[in-house]
């Protein structure tokens, strides 16, 4: 059962019993039953606040969290996305504390959210002993203008680590940008082009090359919105883990993180409260393509 990184071809099938990953030592005595298992990961169909406390302290390499943004979206009957500001932040603090607890020393935590929420979330993480690494501005071209305000054009990806420094940080280089019409390079790099690393430029904390999940081939048939690009999640995973490490995503959605982990040979634990069958569909069929990933990861 193999999948090729960077490929839009998927060859996943349900694993046989001997291929299934056994997350020994990850859960406390009350091991919950996963809804789906693969050779690399396990999906739990439940509230993350019910599953996270059953995970032992210090066992996860990276947490990637893309929670509901409290914008009144309809995820299903079990999720209330219209909380008061205080209730929303209180809820975030509860799952964040669990995420901090289960991270290994030096483990990484990524939280994708609106700038409005990632300001108090970042402050809470710093107060809770986590170390700030980056506020990554992810340029999003699809937001609507708001009267009387600046045109919002980025979401925030907070990147923290547990303890003074990350146990894994792999430098990423992105390809030198070319014009998509004429193919010529866009910048002249101040006359230093010849001295540049042929593998690309160092990734910055402004990501303006993450495509929106717009085309049908990248989307779940059963879920049309709130799906992250595999390119964004691949970067976070590649930056903070190596093959065989364990990534947890408490808000599975359409399963982007698990799809990325499968192609990049990371173990994963996923949780999703609403429709999890579409995640299983995604992981076991060829229906959703991944965005092209041209980054160079320095070993
Ligand atoms: C913004 S979406 C995540 C999208 C995902 N990153 C993707 O690319 O498909 C948030 C998800 O969290 C789920 N969710 C909300 N509250 C939850 C909870 N308490 N426990 C687990 N999942 C929850 C929602 O049903 C929704 O699918």
How far is the centre of ligand 1, averaged over its atoms, from the C-alpha of 183 (Å)?
A: 38
Atom of ligand 1 nearest to the CA of 250: 21
Residue 155 CB neighbour total at 10 angstroms: 22
Exposure class string for 101-137: b at 16+ Cβ within 10 A, else e: bbbbebbbbbbbbbeebbeebbebbeeeebbebebbb
Give, using CA atoms, the residue closest to atom 3 of ligand 1: 253
At 2 the pLDDT is 39
Measure the N-to-C terminal CA separation of the chain; round to a whole number of Å.
25
70, 76, 251, 291: residue to mutate for ligand 1 pocket, most atoms within 8 A of CB: 251
Residues of the chain with pLDDT under 70: 1-19, 142-143, 221, 223-225
Query: Among 79, 94, 223, 290, which is best to mutate for testing ligand 1, by the most ligand atoms less than 8 A from CB?
Result: 79
Interatomic CA distance for residues 132 and 156, integer angstroms: 13
> What per-residue confidence (pLDDT) applies to 22?
80
CATH 3.40.50.150 is right for the domain spanning 17-168+205-293:
yes
Q: Identify the residue whose C-alpha is closest to ligand 1 atom 2.
A: 253
Q: Interior CA angle at 63 toward 140 and 230, to 5°?
A: 40
Distance CA 97, CA 125 (A): 9
Domain chopping of the chain, boundaries: 17-168+205-293
Token output for 193: 């082009």
Pocket residues: Cβ below 6 A from ligand 1: 47-49, 66-68, 75-76, 79, 226-228, 250-251, 253-254, 256, 271-274
Among the atoms of ligand 1, which is closest to the Cα of residue 76?
Answer: 25
Does the global pTM surpass 0.85? Answer: yes
What residues contact 68, with CB distance under 8 A and at least 6 apart? 75, 79, 81, 251
pLDDT tens track for 204-224? 999 999 987 777 777 776 766
pLDDT in the model for residue 3: 43
């Amino acid at each position: 059962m193999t999948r090729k990184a960077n490929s839009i071809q998927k060859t996943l099938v349900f694993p046989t019993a001997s291929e299934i990953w056994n997350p020994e030592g990850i859960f406390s005595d009350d091991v919950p039953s996963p809804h789906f298992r693969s050779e690399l990961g396990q999906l739990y169909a439940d509230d993350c606040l019910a599953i996270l406390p059953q995970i032992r302290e210090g066992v996860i390499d990276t947490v990637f969290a893309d929670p509901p943004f409290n914008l009144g979206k309809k995820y299903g009957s079990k999720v209330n996305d219209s909380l008061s500001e205080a209730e929303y932040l209180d809820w975030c603090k509860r799952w964040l504390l669990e995420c901090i607890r289960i991270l290994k020393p030096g483990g990484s935590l990524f939280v994708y959210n609106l700038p409005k929420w990632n300001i108090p979330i970042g402050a809470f993480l710093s107060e809770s002993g986590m170390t700030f690494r980056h506020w990554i501005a992810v340029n999003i071209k699809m937001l609507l203008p708001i009267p009387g305000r600046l045109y919002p054009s980025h979401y925030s990806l907070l990147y923290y680590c547990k303890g003074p420094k990350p146990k894994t940080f792999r430098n990423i280089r992105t390809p030198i940008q070319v014009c998509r019409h004429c193919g010529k390079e866009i910048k002249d790099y101040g006359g230093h082009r010849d001295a540049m690393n042929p593998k690309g430029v160092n990734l910055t904390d402004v990501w303006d090359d993450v495509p929106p999940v717009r085309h049908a081939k990248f989307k779940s048939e059963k879920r049309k919105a709130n799906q992250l690009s595999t390119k964004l999640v691949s970067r976070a995973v590649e930056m903070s883990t190596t093959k065989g490490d364990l990534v947890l995503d408490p808000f599975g959605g359409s399963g982007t993180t698990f799809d990325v982990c499968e192609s990049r040979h990371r173990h994963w634990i996923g949780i999703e409260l609403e429709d999890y069958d579409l995640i299983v569909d995604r992981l076991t069929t060829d229906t959703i393509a991944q965005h092209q990933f041209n980054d160079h990861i320095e070993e």
